[in-house]
Amino acid sequence: MPVPSGPAALPEPCYVFGDSHLGFAPREVEANLLAYLRYLRTHAGSVVINGDLFEFWFEWRSVVPRSSVRVLAALADLADAGVPVLMIAGNHDCWGGDVLRDDIGVDFRFGPWTGPLAGWATRIEHGDGLRRTEDRGYRALRRLVLRNPVAVRAFRWVHPDLAIRLASASSTTSRTYVPRDGGRGLRAIAAGQLAADPTLELLLLGHSHVPALERLSARGVYGNAGSWLDAPTFLRVTGGRVVLRHWLGSSEGPDLDAIDRLTQEPGSQA
């Protein structure tokens, strides 16, 4: 399974969303997302899906889950139109590979992505497993089962109908996940990463289902697009500004929050 090497710049305007959980989400959520993706085909410079696009995604040799095929087609249309689409693996759809990359045209990646996004020095990560204490059990499960190559190969021998049924039954807790800390744990992680790397201008996380946009260091901004499953919010990033918006169906909607980019060090003379 080839993995893309080296970050590519993501042009502006870049639209960021995540945690749609398609396959579990109600039909109206998918319809909203379809309208959004079709809008982006002629309005986006690039698109980032920050994990958990699907409730469950797995690629057998010649079979993939049939849910949300229209969304896959819309993503392929974006790629065909020349709009770069970066997808970060979440904890629900971390078994993607050749189908997403080669057939759909998505730049599907495991782990964090670092590179220029609309000119911002950016790091993108889904956010699962980052909290030191609360996520300890999940990290062990991820290492031993979810992303263990032996376990993944063994799962391919299970009939897809049974495999999808088992996966859906086992994910009830995490798909309706609302952090007891209200997203504060990931915010603290973001603050630590931004403080540790003064060159980092924008840190994007997902997973918590809590939308956020906040400057946490002299130049560093933390953004979380929230959960499309819960409410259709997204981030729009241009060279000078990042905004948090709510998708209203026929237009981009008003800014829920906005932060301007600092192009020079605080306190320095222009």
Lowest mean pLDDT among 10-24, 81-95, 159-173: 159-173
Strand pairing partners for 214? Answer: 222
Res 2: pLDDT = 41
Residue 133 maps to a domain: yes
User: How far is Cα 183 from Cα 47, in angstroms, rounded to an integer?
Assistant: 24
Handedness of CA 115, 118, 123, 129 (dihedral sign): negative
Give the tens place of pLDDT for each residue, 96-105.
678 888 899 9
132: number of Cβ within 10 Å: 11
Which residue range(s) make up the domain with 59? 14-260
pLDDT interval class at 249 (50, 70, 90): confident
**What's the whole-number mean pLDDT along residues 113-128?**
93
What integer best gives the mean pLDDT of the chain? 81
Token pair 């998918």 is found at 30
Residue 266 maps to a domain: no
Res 244: pLDDT = 96
Count up the domains in the chain and report the number: 1
Residue 27 maps to a domain: yes
What are the residue ranges of helices labelled H in the chain? 27-43, 69-80, 98, 136-141, 149-155, 160-170, 172-175, 184-196
Residue 5 maps to a domain: no
Residue 270 maps to a domain: no
pLDDT interval class at 3 (50, 70, 90): very low
> Domain with 103 in it: what CATH number?
3.60.21.10
pLDDT at 224 over 90: yes
Give this prediction's pTM.
0.84
pLDDT interval class at 54 (50, 70, 90): confident
Instruction: Provide the 8-state DSSP code for 145.
Output: I
Res 248: pLDDT = 86
Residue 6 maps to a domain: no
Residue 265 maps to a domain: no
Choice between 181 and 134, residue whose per-residue pLDDT is larger = 181
Residue 7 maps to a domain: no
Choice between 156 and 270, residue whose per-residue pLDDT is larger = 156
